Amino acid sequence: MAVGREEVEIVKPRSDKREYRRIVLENSLEVLLIGDPETDKCAASMDVGVGHFSDPPGIEGLAHFLEHMLFYASEKYPEEDSFDKYTSQHGGGTNALTGSDHTNYHFVANADCFEEALDRFSQFFVKPLMLSDAVKREIKAVDSEFQKNFLSDSWRIGQLWSHLSMEAHPYHKFGTGNRQTLEVQPKAKGIDIRQELIKFYEENYSANLMHLVVYGKVSLDKIQDLVVQKFNAISNNNRSRLHISGDPCSWEHLQVLVRAVPICDDHTLQVQWPIPCSIHHYKEVPCGFLTHLIGHEGEGSLFHALKRLGWATSLSAYESFVDSNSSFFNVFIEMTDAGNEHMQDIVGLLFKYIGIIHQFGICEWIYNEIAAVSKTMFHNQDKISPMSYVVSIASHMKLYPPKDWLVKSSLPSKFNPSIIRAVLERLSSRNFRIFWVSKNFEGETNMVEPWYATAYCVDKLNDSTIQEWMQHAPSEHLRLPVANQFIATDLSLKKTDKVMYPVLLRKTSFSTLWYKPDTAFSVPKATVHLKFNCPYACNSPHAELLARIFKHLVFDYLNEYAYYAELAGLYYGICRTDDGFELNVSGYNHKLRVLLDTVLKAMADFTVKPERFSVIKEKLTKSYQNFKFDEPRFHASYYRSLILNDHSWPWEEDLEILETLKPKDLSGFAPTMLSRAFLECYIAGNIERNEAESIVHHIEDVFFNGTYPISKPALPSQLMTSRLVTLDEGASYVYSTEGLNPNDENSALIHYIQIHQDDIILNVRLQLLAFIARHEAFHQLRTVEQLGYVCSLTHRYDLGVHGLQFTVQSAVKCPKYIDTRVQSFLKSFESKLSEMSKVEFESHLNALIESKMEKDKNLWEECERHWEEITDRTFLFDRVETEVAALRELTKQELIAFFHEHIRIGAPKRKVLSVRVYGSKHSSDLEADKNEAVGPNTVLIDDIFSFRASQPLYGSPRRGYELMEVHSSSK
């Protein structure tokens, strides 16, 4: 049988210049080919139609384990981890995920590596090697992944949902696997786990169950030829898809209230209704319509009522797929302490709102509005990374006809009230289950989920329970949303000058304006970045906390208004910085100015509402208290920042201060915070020069002009910036501490090598070194030594200072031991670097150059690059070109000399900070390590702040505006 090429017109966005073609290989593998002559990367995603629902009984996690194993080696490419090494050294990477009914494998690499990368990838599915030694080692990696997730509430509660379902239904299964299920239990039963892997692969990895997406720079004909060559050899045993009949929940799992104890101190409520999977009505989008209404946050919505009552801080509604026949409709609510006391009222109000939808809500105008916004977003969507793109398509190909592979459910086009009502009928008081999660239930439960040990209990509710809760719920004015005034209707593209880099249009004592019109992406979108340099916003922990509450309250006050903008593709964000805060507004340019002006007015007219202050304070307090439940690697990162950043404070002090704050403190602070400011503004996209200047004039009028101005220009002496501690050359610093969560067995190490301040020549040497070593480190520390699931080597850039950082999280070895293995790796890497051939060196060098020259895929990527140069005050908008030029001059000898000078063990300029966080499993090692004698060049840090005070600081790399010239008009 010849390759089938059914002529299918695949619907694509109007702005999409890529070419698409569907083919079916002789082995029945269905493939989508994507040709993009503008891409710098190639990518592919293979979606195999089998997941953990197909795990054999008693070997939970086998599908996930197989996903791990396919990356190791193949008969054609037997070198272990060679595919990951190949993609890493050619500007890309690999990953995979195991779902309930599918497993997805994917990669990305530089476009000129297309053929070889595709060949290596195809061998996963043609002839993989699953050697015994690799199988034994990778069980440890799967178990480490499980241990990483063991104290994660999202994993724990998700598994509880599955546990409380029919045992005969595959939804009941435990999909991740661990050492118990993949080694201990099989061995006790005399099962050879390697043979089970091979059997599972041979039975389930059939070409007729696979969907492939391939993305390349070459022509579709060339891509097709390569795909046929590489993938036709995949076996087709005509395996049938797993057929699942029946719902995951029987009557005993419905009309129940499940109370569960979380790890974090939060109160959450999840109401679930089993429903038929809505994918069969993807043009009618019944669940999309209902999530739009139930999850709405505008005035009159359920969330607005709960927020006004002080009972909830967030609400979301969504459909979660179980299989092609079944789903759950979910409403998830984060509750305040007060809300936790009113759980029954909250559920009563939810069912009241569902009743309003029954009575008034299935309106064609609402559907048409959703469809109009969806159509605009589809046809003006931004390009994303090729790997993300192929994964998003391949994961859904089995669900949609080929013509809608790109569209999926994103273009509603058939208003059908009866289909919407059929789903709405399922959201009844006879068909639900409630998961109520709170620390308050400690000691009140009588059951334990077997895999994650989550304590819970189940109460059966009768038919009249919800009716009683509805009757007793408060009388809130619930209503449907009104028409959305933020929907863009002017999507025209404006004529602007061709400008390669941002230009400085304006500078005053109040502000500066940088401007860059869109000359590359041709989308009706724009962005305004605004940085408030406010010296009084960040000069103490007290000020920092009040500034943070200010930010949250601005969001809180605007939520009902701004939610409509968000639905229409307009977004804003406020984030705290080391010297103030940033405001960003972005999206369709037509109504952008309306949203921006409203946000600015809310900041300028800010007043404190005591009841909302209390809610935000409670939320922040819990975030600080729950920090101790984060993974140890995040704690290690926190300690590294606390040691090195001169403008940071310990979370315990923040929490202590936070508990004392009152509304009057913020009332006095907010005017002070804004009383002195200097604004840096960057406006880019589909916007004209005069519009940009008008925006900044308006901002200055709001804050600096008028009879009683809110702000005065910040004085030069007030514009301080955070600086980094300078470590001494030739010294190693060690900070050891016990983990913050006594129940977490995992430990973590950060091995940070501080190297240099921003300098083009040194930058590219470090970048190339990290580029070469990244895979080598992962392979040695993670794959070979199995120190932990999380093992990474990254290039860090902090406050103008560059460095190299190893991060390892482990439940099997203590941090000190891992530190010795990092040092051992550096010694072995030194030899590899010296022995590297000229051809290999140039291959790495060229791959890095190609990666750096990758074009921005969308307006936001370009803007973020430029905004970073502006906020750092480095202004090297041509940084990529400058660094590429420096890379072209770099020799192997210079790279080795750089390594010997800064990184090699014993190097004269080597400056190392090791942060060691000891989990409960290694607590005895902590005392032994603290009492062990150290060498002459090793400094033990006992008191972080005494150490910080004793060290010099790097100078600020930020440049001033004094000598910078304003760009004159080209007219």
Pairwise CA distance, residues 601 & 584, whole Å: 15
In degrees and rounded to multiples of 5, residue 436 shows phi and psi of: -110, 115
Task: Please list, in sequence order, all residues whose beta carbon lies within 8 angstroms of the beta carbon of residue 222, skipping any fewer than 6 positions away.
Answer: 216
SS3 state of residue 517:
strand
SS3 state of residue 31:
strand
Is the backbone of residue 255 left (phi > 0), alpha (psi -120 to 50) or beta? left
Tokens of 568: 């229409």
Residue 719 · residue 533 · CB < 8 Å = yes
Is the backbone of residue 432 left (phi > 0), alpha (psi -120 to 50) or beta? beta
SS3 state of residue 117:
helix
Name the E strands within 899-945.
911-918, 938-940
Report strand pairing: 41-48 vs 73-74. unpaired
Residue 279 · residue 321 · CB < 8 Å = yes
99 to 47, 152, 276, 323: CA distances (angstroms): 10, 18, 19, 10
Pairwise CA distance, residues 952 & 726, whole Å: 6
417-455: b (≥16 Cβ within 10 Å) or e: eebbeebbeebebebbbbbbbbeebeeebeeebebbebb
Which residues are catalytically annotated?
67, 138
CA dihedral 74, 75, 76, 80 (to 10 degrees): 50
The 3-class SS string of 303-315 reads: HHHHHHCCCEEEE
Pairwise CA distance, residues 700 & 692, whole Å: 13
Residue 811 · residue 790 · CB < 8 Å = no
Nearest to 245 by CA among 53, 470, 28: 53
Q: Which residue has the tokens 């030739």?
A: 730
In degrees and rounded to multiples of 5, residue 778 shows phi and psi of: -60, -45
Apex 872 CA angle, 871 and 873, nearest 5: 85
Residue 639 · residue 917 · CB < 8 Å = yes
